[in-house]
Amino acid sequence: MKSFDIHAATHALVIALIATGCNDDDDPGPRTPVISDIAELTASTPSGSAFAIYRENAPDIMLNAPGAQVDISRIKIGESLMVTYTMADGGEAGRSGDINLRSYYAINNSTLIKGDIADFPDWNKEEVYLISIWRAGNKIDLRCRLTYDPAPRTFIMLLDESTAGNPVPDLYLVHQLQQPVESFDRNYYAAFDISRLWEQTTCEGVAVHIANSNLQQQVYRFMK
């Protein structure tokens, strides 16, 4: 099985909204909220970039960033990334519209891999400190903490092929280091594209299995 380099989050972002506060001593008025979100890059041209934030049981959010071009040599169209921004009109977040893009950075993007979970008897040996997991359109997004190791590791979302035809197939987050290491933890964000499975008419949902060291819950179900 191929090993992958994974991107560590260099900022402790994912606080969805920074609380309003004072600008400085000379301007005690409220400042425009700064928002951090995982979004999908839908367009990037010299005239600007566009992003989509997919939500369950709520309208999708479409954002336009005039004059801000994302480097598509690093982040491809259709991939997810972390964006930090303010609404151009200074209003609240959680809605479509123009934004002022403050920053962006790459996260881990991968597709679903089909295989036999029996080939990974130690799939749950290297636990994952799961902080959050959600479905974003045809992707499973997550935030977690992993042991830092500069060496490539196995970090995949595996579809157990024996369950592929079930109404709710089983997916496994397989995390394996090349060798044991003693190190500190870092934040990681990942987006796994499950489109080919999710769009099948026989698929009613997915069950994601995670060796979760943070909570007792080990299986997360996402239904259509």
Token pair 């425009």: residue = 32
The model's pLDDT over 50-97, given as tens digits with 9 standing for 90+, comes to 999 999 888 999 999 999 999 999 999 999 999 999 999 988 889 999
| Domains of the chain, residue spans | 32-106, 109-223
Given CA atoms 90, 93, 99, 103 in this order, what sign does their dihedral have? positive
* Confidence (pLDDT) at 28: 56
* Confidence (pLDDT) at 27: 55
| CATH class of the domain whose range is 109-223 | mainly beta
Q: Is 2 left (phi over 0), alpha (psi -120 to 50) or beta?
A: beta
The reply to whether 32-106 and 109-223 are identical in fold is no
The model's pLDDT over 107-138, given as tens digits with 9 standing for 90+, comes to 999 999 999 999 999 999 889 999 999 999 99
> Structure pTM?
0.84
Q: Radius of gyration over alpha carbons of the chain, in Å?
A: 19
Output the CA angle 77-80-85, nearest 5 degrees. 100
Q: How confident is the model at residue 18 (pLDDT cuts 50, 70, 90)?
A: very low
Q: Strand (E) positions, the chain?
A: 22-24, 27-30, 35-45, 48-53, 61-66, 80-87, 97-106, 108-111, 113-115, 129-136, 139-147, 154-160, 170-176, 185-193, 205-209, 219-223
Query: Which CATH number applies to 32-106: 2.60.40, 1.10.287, 1.10.3470, 2.40.50?
Result: 2.40.50
Average pLDDT taken over every residue of the chain: 86
Top pLDDT among 127 and 17 is at: 127
* Confidence (pLDDT) at 8: 45
Q: How confident is the model at residue 22 (pLDDT cuts 50, 70, 90)?
A: very low
